[in-house]
Amino acid sequence: MAKRHRAYWKGYLRLSLVTIAVEVYNAVESKSDISFRQIHKPTGRRVHYQKVVQGVGEIENSDIVKGYEVDTDTYVTIEPEEIDALKLESKKTIDLVQFVDAAELDYRYFERPYFVAPADPLAGEGFVVIRDSLRKTGKVGLAQVTIGGREWLVAIAPVEDGLIMEMLRYADELREPKDFFEEVPREKPQKAMIDLAVQLIEQKSAPFKPEAFTDRYQDALKSLVQMKMKGKKVVAPEEEGRPSGANVIDLMEALKKSVQQSPAKTGRSPKASSVKQTKGPSSSSGRSKKKA
């Protein structure tokens, strides 16, 4: 049976002397239905952009090549075939060179997930052996692979009947946490406060059900578009400062009251509507809501 999706990358997965043909598929798809265009307000027409060169004018896409700036307005140009000529084994092979415990991977390194599947029936047996071995050991395989114009560090792990490949950031891409947490108090809080916070967390704990959460911002945008299409006037709500909840003056008292309240049902998505409407001409007179 033909596969329902087009492969994002095709190559080989290698474990020492075992090499199997695989295909990589995007494990994520965008569900954002609302996208905006830039419009010239006086005419209501869409704004277009042209590729121009100073002193030349508008140019064709076929005349554009990649260039690396070595000095002000001085570039080294690279042809597509020169990039293709780079001899990197990772362009075609995901070579599992190291294995680590899954718990060792810091979530800050995760970039984007992809599914890895056997490319043909001949690869099936080796694929299953690698998958089940990773599952039994609780390990994650590390490799590098060239995709989308760069060489990625990737982690390979079992997922259901297949494998998942998580693209990872390199260590030098992460900022130092200490640069942002200088103002965090060094004194330890009272044990009673920690105990109350732990109790509050336990009250609100539940199994993770990702389908219970929706993009409320997109839902609100859809409602806004529908209202505008019906000719209703959109009125921005009053500006908000601190989010709903009491101002924390007495932290201990706030924690006690929070624990006393009924446990919230986690995973519930509040209604998305965040705009008020009044009948009137199709116009927008709202102010941007201030960030909290």
Q: State whether residue 178 is helix, strand or coil.
A: helix
Mean pLDDT of 81-103: 85
pLDDT for 134-145, tens place per residue? 999 999 999 999
pLDDT band of residue 45 (cuts 50, 70, 90) is: very high
CA 133 to CA 120: how far, in whole Å?
Answer: 20
- Confidence at residue 128, expressed as pLDDT on a 0 to 100 scale: 96
- Confidence at residue 166, expressed as pLDDT on a 0 to 100 scale: 96
- Confidence at residue 239, expressed as pLDDT on a 0 to 100 scale: 63
- Confidence at residue 205, expressed as pLDDT on a 0 to 100 scale: 84
Q: Residues of the chain with pLDDT > 90: what percent?
A: 35
pLDDT for 118-136, tens place per residue? 999 999 999 999 999 999 9
Tell me the backbone φ, ψ of residue 179, rounded to 5 degrees: -70, -15
Mean pLDDT of 271-286: 40
- Confidence at residue 255, expressed as pLDDT on a 0 to 100 scale: 81
Residue ranges in the chain assigned as alpha helix (H): 80-84, 124-137, 191-203, 216-229, 251-260
Residue type, 194: I
CATH class for domain 9-28+85-173?
mainly beta
Q: Check whether 244 has a pLDDT greater than 80.
A: no
pLDDT for 152-186, tens place per residue? 999 999 999 999 999 999 999 999 999 999 888 88
Residue type, 184: V
pLDDT band of residue 265 (cuts 50, 70, 90) is: low
* Residue pair 143/94 in contact by the 8 Å Cβ criterion: yes
pLDDT for 207-243, tens place per residue? 888 788 777 777 778 888 888 788 888 777 776 666 5
What does the mean pLDDT of the chain come to?
82
Tell me the backbone φ, ψ of residue 116, rounded to 5 degrees: -115, 125
Domain boundaries, the chain: 9-28+85-173, 188-204+214-239+247-292
Mean pLDDT of 22-50: 86
Strands (E) in the chain, as ranges, are 9-15, 18-26, 39-40, 45-46, 52-53, 57-58, 66-71, 74-78, 93-95, 98-101, 110-118, 139-147, 150-159, 162-168, 232-235, 276-279
- Confidence at residue 99, expressed as pLDDT on a 0 to 100 scale: 96
Q: Write down the residue that tokens 């950031």 correspond to.
A: 169
Cα angle vertex 94, ends 67, 2, to 5°?
100
Q: Check whether 272 has a pLDDT greater than 50.
A: no
Mean pLDDT of 34-46: 87
Pick from 40, 39, 10: nearest CA to 25: 10
pLDDT band of residue 269 (cuts 50, 70, 90) is: very low
Report the predicted TM-score, pTM, of the whole model to 2 decimal places: 0.69
Tell me the backbone φ, ψ of residue 270, rounded to 5 degrees: -60, 160
Of residues 1 and 195, more confidence is placed in 195
- Confidence at residue 290, expressed as pLDDT on a 0 to 100 scale: 38
- Confidence at residue 32, expressed as pLDDT on a 0 to 100 scale: 63
